[in-house]
A and B are shown apart, each in its own frame.
Chain A
């Protein structure tokens, strides 16, 4: 089975632009989470979606938004890009939302966003 896939692999934008990142979860997984990983730091939680509804949000400004589609794929949108948004954006999928013992998260390879 294919793992979590993300597109594009790399992206270069300029300040003030908008960007959309895409994620396809593992087949059968209904939950998708997004993380931002600034160079040299650990990932930080941005959003979690389950069954197309937002179920958790980290400490990020309203410029960040996301959605989940009926096929459980997801998009992360960032408006009015700032230099500080340059980071690796990771998507993770899991079967459920409960956070129980069996609910392991599997990560994609990430999208590297550079804001100039």
Chain B
């Protein structure tokens, strides 16, 4: 079974600075997707960024980028120029390719942004 681990329960960053959230996963599959979801206090899970395992290039979305290390099974999220609105729970998630839509989530990292 696949597992996703987020080793940082809480992280803190100063507004306008950069922070990196860590995620490791365990799978025997070679073809899969990795995701970072943001869950603000409103509870709605919002997709931040997606990485396809067969693509070597790291995904970027504006201020958000990932460092995908397939051999190490590591998938970290970098948030640049942090904003107060980035404060939320962040979840790393895994999904097998072409095997339904079941997501396996990590335990989450709470990000606090200090003004």
Q: Give the interface of A toward B (CB within 8 A).
A: 31, 33, 35, 40-45, 48, 55-56, 58, 88, 90, 92, 94, 97-101, 103-110, 112
A48 contact from B45, B98, B100, Cβ within 8 A:
B100
Given contact pairs A94-B101, A100-B97, A107-B44, A42 touches B106 in the complex (Cβ within 8 A): yes
- CB pair A90 B45 closer than 8 Å: yes
- CB pair A44 B43 closer than 8 Å: no
Given contact pairs A88-B43, A108-B44, A45 touches B103 in the complex (Cβ within 8 A): yes
The proximity string for B residues 70-109 relative to A, scoring 1 for CB distances below 8 Å and 0 otherwise, is 0000000000000000000001010111111111111110
- CB pair A42 B105 closer than 8 Å: yes
A105 contact from B4, B91, B103, Cβ within 8 A:
B103
- CB neighbours of B100 from chain A (8 A): 48, 55-56, 97-99
- Beyond the given pairs A31-B101, A40-B108, 7 more chain A to chain B contacts, judged by CB atoms under 8 angstroms and listed by A's residue number, are A33-B101, A33-B103, A42-B93, A42-B105, A42-B107, A48-B101, A94-B101
- CB neighbours of A40 from chain B (8 A): 108
Pair count A-B, CB < 8 A? 72
- CB pair A41 B108 closer than 8 Å: yes
A99 contact from B44, B47, B91, B99, Cβ within 8 A:
B99
- CB neighbours of B101 from chain A (8 A): 31, 33, 48, 56, 92, 94, 97, 99, 103, 105
The CA-CA distance from A104 to B59 in the complex, in Å, is 15
